[in-house]
Chain A
Amino acid sequence: VYRLHGRYYEMAPNVVPMDYTKDPDVKLPMQLIINMPELKENPFKERIVASFSEDGEGSLSFNDFVDMFSVLSEMAPRELKAIYAFKIYDFNTDNFICKADLEKTLNKLTREELTAEEITLVCEKVIEEADMDGDGKLGFADFENMISKAPDFLRYYFKKN
């Protein structure tokens, strides 16, 4: 954790205090955090930061920071990762992954290399595959059900601290 604190501090040395005994209310803005090397290449970096941030806008206090890294680490259990993954992919934060969310995800993943037709096709297929309750969008239960069977999920969500 000291290392994490070191990283946190590095990002904004003038703001982050070394001493946490007084529980200061320090938050780092999103811009700083998404420039971290681990996150820089990630297409979902803004979403990752936003889903861990308390105020929903992307500023992370140290607690949130630690939270984020602990979820992304190897020690976190699958269910927890699934919960946060759902939050990450839910762009409009309505607790459902609807078609628009899927389209945004896809665009971020492929850097908009797919045609509109292809995008629609993929999104339709996803909803067809994963939507269990038939409401046309993915609730958390659908997502969890689908993700729990994926063999690669855990591997790709690991991170070294």
Chain B
Amino acid sequence: DGSDDNEEGSAVENEENAKGTDKGKKRATPRTRRAHARGRDRHGDEDDEDDEGGMRRAGPRRHRSRRRGRAAGNETGDSDMEPTKARKNQANQESKEDDEEDEDEKGGKSGKGKNEKKGDKKSDKKGKKEKANKKKKDKKKSGSGSDSESEEEPITEEELAKLKEEVEEKKKLIATLRNKPWKMKKKLSVLKEAQLFVEKFEGALGKGKGKKFYAYKVMMTKKWMKFQRDFENFKTACIPWEMKIKEIESHFGSSVASYFIFLRWMYGINMILFGLTFGLVMVPEALMGKPYGSLPRKTVPRAEEATAMNFATLWDFSGFAQYSVLFYGYYNNQRTIGWLKFRMPLSYFLVGVGSIGYSFMIVTRTMAKNANDDGGGDDTSFNFSWKMFTSWDYLIGNPETADNKFASITTSFKEAIVEEQESRKEENIHLTRFLRVLANFLALCTLAGSGYLIFFVVRRSQQFALEGLENYGWWERNEVNTVMSLLGMFCPTLFDVISSLENYHPRIALRWQLGRIFALFLGNLYTFIIALMDEINLKARYFLPFTMFDRLLGNTEALQSLEEEKIVKYNMTIWEASLYNGTIPENSTAPPIQVDPADVPRGPCWETMVGQEFVRLTVSDMMTTYITILIGDFLRAVFVRFFNYCWCWDLEYGFPSYSEFDISGNVLGLIFNQGMIWMGSFYAPCLPAINVFRLHTSMYLQCWAVMCCNVPQERVFKASRSNNFYMAMLLFILFLSTLPAVYTIVSIPPSFDCGPFSGKTRMFEVISETLEHDFPSWFGKVFGYASNPGLILPFILLMVLSIYYLNATSKSYKEANLELKKKLQSVRIEN
């Protein structure tokens, strides 16, 4: 007994000392402590009583230590109550495993004792809050409550309620213990006590009033919490590539890692798009549609059959690949297929529209989330303080990166200092303005120049096409392609040079740069399309050199094939007639002749062509990226590393050196690529699948390349605010890329000979058809009323008004925020 007491006493002592709140009491033996109970005489009385009670009982050791705990508790002040509770909670949450594994063996009795002591302290405190009498009764009863486990005394309602409260408080304590900045030991001890208290009294509470059920409920709650925790752990472990990204983060800082996080996010979106297209479009057709070879549209034409299986053809996505579920043309326009009566055309249409809608929704949602996280954005009121206290990236574990980080911190301080100094003297603002205007002017000139160049080159290529491509060499054939790629390579560098005139903060300069590159690409695109459209209007028939940006508007093919279609239809009727003519006289009804589907003449299928172009584009883009990485980064690194020994100047510091990871270039590439996917996935359901594959391999390849061949950037800039910028660009591109698809759905008739919508005048008619056939008639009527322009217009008006209203409210909130900040500042200054 005595030894136990001493042990516990010393444990408590240690704990008290560790707390650092020395009440100035000597920790004598427990008995003396008891005797010295102060501060709460009432408690003291109770203690004595309980002591006696305890002595009386031949109960478990716990009770005795509880007494002692109470005594110890009495001696510590109120202020410790909260801390102890908090400590308990904290220790509980963060080191539950600790407790159970390490400390249980170690803590053992002493731990338990501590718990109970704390528990009793808590009870003490609770008692204090209430009236003395009640308290006394509580204490007694709680003492006897635990006794009741051995003595079977009844517990009153009151006590039950109070005990419940105490248990709840303990639980809260356990939950918040983690927040308290105490030493581990304290937390652990507090935690143990709280846990044991809760355990014990929860059991006790159940006594007498549906105990079994209560205990069961408690156990289930615990199990549920444990399950939740395990599930959270599991979920975190499941996040793909988390370890890779963390590694990159520690080497390169968080801005490079943000690119990979963006990549991973894109991968998620593409997975979902892939799931939609694969599950709802490709699989049903493959399983339940008519098999290959049964219909003309599903068969390789006789003329192409010989080369249909060649690798070259397959790589080009013609031949067998073209006549498969991968492309639009394969799908039959039967209204329902298979025994499930799966409505294929409807599903195709809805999946197309749905993937666009989903993409919009998720991009907007992410933007909103990012805006929220930003927390009201441009707060420059603590500029220097933040630089000082939060600029060191604690995640860096690599000396090289650390060096860079030091350098960048120094630079950022210097920058901030310079800005501060500059803001104190406002000189030469006119010069700066003039320079900036000049720089913008130069950029515009560049853009205009590149636009004109493209226009000129496209016109020239039309000329070549007219005169027959065979007469010209490789350059003329691929002129447009190469010119556009060259422009894409050199103009950004030019923009870079121009931006040095402007003297902006690097982050702002980066945004201008990105904006200009964006404008460059868009401008090139549009001039190209305009040049093409011109030509189409003049000569719709001629074979146009298909280049990258041509695909962007399927209109070119569509308009082309419209003409072709008429011709083919005419030809087909003649061909059919010729079949009949050969065997049976005209005007007699005869069974239709069986013709091998491969021999039937085909109508043009512009959707498949468009889809093919997109797929080819994606594949070539992927190849280009990989090869660029391999050559540009890897070979360069190898060259620099190995030739450094035998080269005149220091390669590593001088010209080639190792390449940095080009964040903005890569992000832009990713965004544009995604735009292509969105544009093309309506015509080629296989695109999301290809993209998923591409992103997957790209992730691994780039992670490897970054770790192996790149060096951390000189200017490790913050990634926090740029995220929304990329999202905004993504949203814009999404909008742009859905325009063509939507336009074709709404205004261009689908090919008569292929695809799920063949035979209809417009693709969206499949919806009205479904409404007629598959839904009860009243539904159709309702829909008819609802789609009445008289109803839709007011609805749109209402939405516009609500957007305006919400915008106005958010502005007013922001202003109120600013006002408050200003007030705060002025109050501070006053002080």
Contacts and interface: CB of A to CB of B under 8 A. Distances in A.
Contacts of B720: 151-152, 155
Nearest to A97: B389
Contacts of B375: 149, 151
A132 B828 contact: yes
Interface stretch (B58-66, B101-109, B132-140, B460-468): B101-109
Interface residues on B, range: 35 or more
Given A64-B184, A111-B406, A38 B382 contact: no
A134 B830 CA distance: 9
Nearest to B100: A1
B577 interface: no
Contacts of B381: 129, 149
Contacts of A106: 388, 413
B390 A160 contact: no
A47 to B, nearest CB: 12
A20 B105 contact: yes
B179 interface: yes
A156 B394 contact: yes
A1 B417 contact: no
B391 A109 contact: yes
B470 interface: no
Contacts of B246: 160
Contacts of B230: none
Most buried by A among B385, B390, B406, B417: B385
A63 B393 contact: no
Nearest to B393: A156
A118 B388 contact: no
A66 B394 CA distance: 17
Interface in A42-94: 42-44, 54, 63-64, 66-67, 70, 72, 75-77, 79-80, 83-85, 89
A114 B97 contact: no
B185 interface: yes
B581 interface: no
A149 B382 contact: yes
A126 B179 CA distance: 27
Contacts of A63: 183-185, 188
B1 interface: no
A74 B264 CA distance: 20
Interface stretch (B68-76, B397-405, B694-702): B397-405
Contacts of A113: 406-407, 410
A122 B388 contact: yes
A129 B395 contact: no
Nearest to B405: A41
A125 B394 contact: no
B181 A80 contact: yes
**Interface majority SS on A: helix, strand, loop or mixed?**
helix
Nearest to A73: B94
Contacts of B388: 102, 105-106, 109, 122, 126
Contacts of B392: 42-44, 109, 156
A11 interface: no
Contacts of B386: 146, 150, 152-153
A147 B183 contact: no
B382 A110 contact: no
A9 interface: no
Nearest to B376: A149
A43 B407 CA distance: 13
B173 to A, nearest CB: 15
A160 B126 CA distance: 40
A120 B185 CA distance: 41
Given A41-B397, A156-B393, A20 B379 contact: no
A114 B397 contact: no
B383 interface: yes
Given A1-B95, A118-B413, A129-B384, A77 B178 contact: yes
21 contacts: A1-B102, A21-B106, A37-B397, A41-B401, A42-B396, A63-B183, A80-B180, A84-B181, A109-B406, A113-B407, A121-B417, A129-B384, A130-B382, A147-B389, A149-B382, A150-B382, A150-B386, A151-B373, A152-B386, A152-B391, A159-B394
Q: Across chains A and B, which 7 residue pairs bring their CB atoms closest together, nearest first?
A: A63-B184, A21-B105, A41-B402, A125-B384, A110-B410, A67-B184, A83-B181
Interface of A: 1-2, 5, 19-23, 37-38, 40-44, 54, 63-64, 66-67, 70, 72, 75-77, 79-80, 83-85, 89, 102, 105-106, 109-111, 113-114, 118, 121-122, 125-126, 129-134, 143, 146-147, 149-153, 155-160
Given A1-B101, A110-B409, A151-B720, 13 more contacts: A54-B18, A63-B185, A64-B184, A80-B178, A80-B179, A102-B388, A114-B414, A122-B387, A129-B384, A131-B828, A146-B382, A150-B382, A151-B375
